[in-house]
Amino acid sequence: MSEAVPSPTRSPWRRRGLLLAPVAVAGLAGAGFYAMLRGLGTGRYDPRGVPSALIGKPAPDFTLPPLEGADRPGLAAADLKTGRPVLVNFFASWCVPCVIEHPQLMRMAREGVPIFGIAYKDKPEDSLRFLKQHGTPYARLGTDQPGRVAIDWGLYGVPETYLIDGAGIIRWRMAGPVTEEILADQLTPLLRRGA
């Protein structure tokens, strides 16, 4: 039955359009929310992430002593300019998410990606025990026991990983563990492009 006579002052199409507007707006918002939820899973959308002010800038200057007994050289800003992309990873033995990301670091190291580690606010013997237990992915390893270098880098927490290109410019930052998904979706493509 189509007895519904539209009011004479307004065209029926305009009325229909107005009535459809809520569905359209809700639909668009819904699609956006869906994309956010997908992004949460892959790490592309992170409401808690804080943008690093250092992206696109050279890494801050620093020199860190090596970790005694780890059999790796220490780390300084000059070591970052290798002509190829490198990763700088802040970690600590007391940090649980560091254990989660460790297998990914080990795999990248086996695939030949240079990873430089910085032990953050950690006792040397604890760092050593951590590396003995889980393996050492780091080509160079500095200790930042007072956490002073971390301040210059704007460290948000551990673990935190930076990608530095061949010219020593910071290109990418991950605050939190590098998971399988982040490795596959973000880091590997960047490394392939040579950052």
Partner 1 sequence: MIPEIGHFALALALALALVQAVVGMVGAQRADARLMAATPALAAGLLVTIAAAFACLVWAYVANDTTVLNVVQNSHSAKPLLYKISGAWGNHEGSMLLWVLILALCGGAVAAFGTNLPSALQARVLAVLALVALGFLGFILGTSNPFQRIWPPPLDGQGLNPVLQDPGLAFHPPLLYLGYVGFAVTYAFAVAALIEGRVDAAWGRWVRPWALAAWSFLTLGIALGSWWAYYELGWGGYWFWDPVENASLMPWLAGCALLHSAIVVEKREALKTWTVFLALLAFGMSLLGTFLVRSGVLNSVHAFANDPARGTVILILLTLYIGGGFLLFAWRAQAMLPTGVFTPISREGALVLNNLLLCSIAAVVLVGTLYPMFADLVLGEKFSVGPPFFNTAILPLAVPLVGAMALGPVLSWKRARLFPALQRLWWAALAGLGALALCLALEGQRIGPALGFGAAAWTILAAMADIADRIALFSRPRAAWARAKGLPRAAWGGALAHAGLGVMILGLAGMGLATDTLRLVRPGESVALAGLDYRLVSLADAPGPNFSARRATVEVRDGSRLVTTLMPERRSFPLARMTTTEAAIHTTWLSDLYVVLGEEREGGAVLRIHNNPLAPWIWLGGAIMALGGGLSLSDRRMRVSAPAVRPVKAGARA
The H helix count followed by the E strand count for the chain is: 6, 7
Nearer to partner 1, 82 or 186 (CB): 186
Among 10, 11, 14, 29, interactor with partner 1 by CB under 8 A:
29
Q: Which of residues 31-50 bind partner 1 (CB under 8 A)?
A: 32-37, 39-41, 45, 47-50
Among 20, 53, 151, 167, interactor with partner 1 by CB under 8 A:
20
- In the complex, what is the shortest distance from the CB of residue 155 to partner 1, in angstroms, rounded to a whole number? 18
- Smallest CA-to-CA distance from 90 within 56, 71, 62 is with 62
Of 7-15, 73-81, 120-128, 164-172: span binding partner 1 (CB under 8 A): 7-15
Contact of 68 with 141, CB cutoff 8 Å: no
Q: Which two tokens stand for residue 104?
A: 């990914």
- In the complex, what is the shortest distance from the CB of residue 116 to partner 1, in angstroms, rounded to a whole number? 27
- In the complex, what is the shortest distance from the CB of residue 179 to partner 1, in angstroms, rounded to a whole number? 13
For residue 192, state whether it binds partner 1 (rule: CB under 8 A): no
- Smallest CA-to-CA distance from 190 within 177, 176, 174, 175 is with 174
Nearer to partner 1, 27 or 69 (CB): 27
Nearer to partner 1, 31 or 184 (CB): 31
Q: 27 phi and psi, to 5 degrees?
A: -65, -45
Spatial neighbors of 155 by CB under 8 A, at least 6 apart, are: 90, 120, 147
Helix (H, G, I), strand (E, B) or coil at 72: coil
Residues that contact partner 1, how many (by CB under 8 A): 33
- In the complex, what is the shortest distance from the CB of residue 7 to partner 1, in angstroms, rounded to a whole number? 7
Give Cα separations from 138 to 87, 106, 107, 142 (angstroms): 9, 9, 11, 10
Q: Which residues bind partner 1 (CB under 8 A)?
A: 1-7, 12, 15-16, 19-20, 22-23, 26-27, 29-30, 32-37, 39-41, 45, 47-51
